[in-house]
Structure 1
Amino acid sequence: MAMTEEEKKYKGIIWALSIIVPLAVAALFGINLPKMGYDVEPLSFLPPIYATINGLTAVLLVWAVSAVKGGNTKLHENLIKLCMVCSGLFLLMYVAYHMTSVSTSYGGEGAIRYVYFFILITHILLSIIIIPFVLFTFVRGIAGAYERHKKLARITYPMWLYVAVTGVIVYIMISPYYNH
């Protein structure tokens, strides 16, 4: 099936965002205001909030899929929009926290350390890979290219759900090591 005009219109923007967002996050993540000598209050209250947002995103994603399977496409669309807002809020809080706080090292030992780093690395990699998948899936749905939307959503959904759930797991695993 051919791309709709709406899909063509957003294709360049989606690819630009898919490159710019991870690069901007990496660049901002590298800016640590306390290490640079700025006297800023660490935003240490943010990790449980953005972990909760990740958990909420996971619940909303499952609900959205359930809604569309039940024929409620408007609820599905609204829930997906809310998931995108949640993901954006997570990203902003995550970057703000890391810009104002000294990085926390994971303190677990033995096999659990390998589990933590496996989850963390797959979470980070998929959080980068998922960007164009989410955006293209969203545009296909909004553009009315439902068969193409559905086909891509079968790939996007489990990846996005994995990123949301593992974000919570990473937080739970590292939270005992935060400097409060």
Structure 2
Amino acid sequence: MLATLDLAYQSELAGAGDWLHMLPIAVGAHPLVHLNAALNTLATLLLLIGLWQIKRGLEIRHGRVMLSALFVSAMFLTSYLAYHFAVELTVRFTHPGPVKYAYYAILLSHVLLAVTVPFLALAATIYGIRAVGWGKAAALPPAEKARNRAKHLKVVRWAFPIWLYVSVTGVVVYLMLYHLWPSAELDPTLTTVPPSIAAPGSVGG
């Protein structure tokens, strides 16, 4: 599948001409980049819906939505790893000025916190499932469910804001790099595609 995407991607770039300046997005971006941004956006929406539901006492609906958010985030992680290890395409932020420092500050915080999300989100999910008694957890005694509820609440104080921040900043980084201040490596006004873009896989991820 990745090979098919790469062929379509390179074909699109090879056929690009003067009409590139008419497009609102950076054509040089690999399709997985846009997929990752879409998954991050969806995860953000699900997290906000989950927050809205739990604040209104809709615990069961909240649990289902948060499981969906976990699934979407897992899909994102799979796509992200595929992009960086299979495609191996790196695009640098080349816009000068203060915005460059803002970009790298956001990117650094995003990357550092993203490392913790799988562990925090999974722990919060497991405790939450045991707290409400879903599946095999239905057989747990009330005292054990209460202990898991307390653990769930303790974890989500950190897990939720970090998870939400990582999802939001993932979209922000995407918008800054590919839409608001497109990298010179993806400049749609160029009549020729830079070598680093024309040959995916030639640049380390």
Q: Which category describes the TM-score, using the shorter chain as reference length?
A: 0.7 to 0.9
1:118 aligns with 2:121: no
Counterpart mapping for 1:9-158 below 5 A = 41=7, 44-98=30-84, 99-144=86-131, 145-158=148-161
Q: Which residue of 1 aligns with 2:168?
A: 165
- Residues of 1 paired with 2:119 and 2:175: CA distance? 28
- Determine helix, strand or coil for the equivalent of 2:116: helix
Aligned 8 A contact 1:50 1:94 in 2: yes
- Residues of 2 paired with 1:58 and 1:116: CA distance? 20
- Residues of 2 paired with 1:62 and 1:106: CA distance? 29
Computed over aligned residues only, the root mean square deviation of the Cα atoms, in angstroms, reads: 2.1
- Determine helix, strand or coil for the equivalent of 2:115: helix
Q: Which runs of 5+ in 1 are unaligned?
A: 1-32, 34-39
- Residues of 2 paired with 1:155 and 1:130: CA distance? 10
- Residues of 1 paired with 2:101 and 2:33: CA distance? 22
- Determine helix, strand or coil for the equivalent of 2:82: helix
Q: Which runs of 5+ in 2 are unaligned?
A: 10-28, 132-147, 187-196, 199-205
Identical columns (%): 31
- Residues of 1 paired with 2:88 and 2:118: CA distance? 26
State the 1:101 CA deviation. 4.5
- Residues of 1 paired with 2:77 and 2:123: CA distance? 19
Count of residues in Structure 1 that have an aligned counterpart in Structure 2: 143
Aligned 8 A contact 1:44 1:101 in 2: no
State the 1:165 CA deviation. 0.1
- Residues of 1 paired with 2:123 and 2:77: CA distance? 19
- Residues of 2 paired with 1:92 and 1:136: CA distance? 19
- Residues of 1 paired with 2:38 and 2:89: CA distance? 21
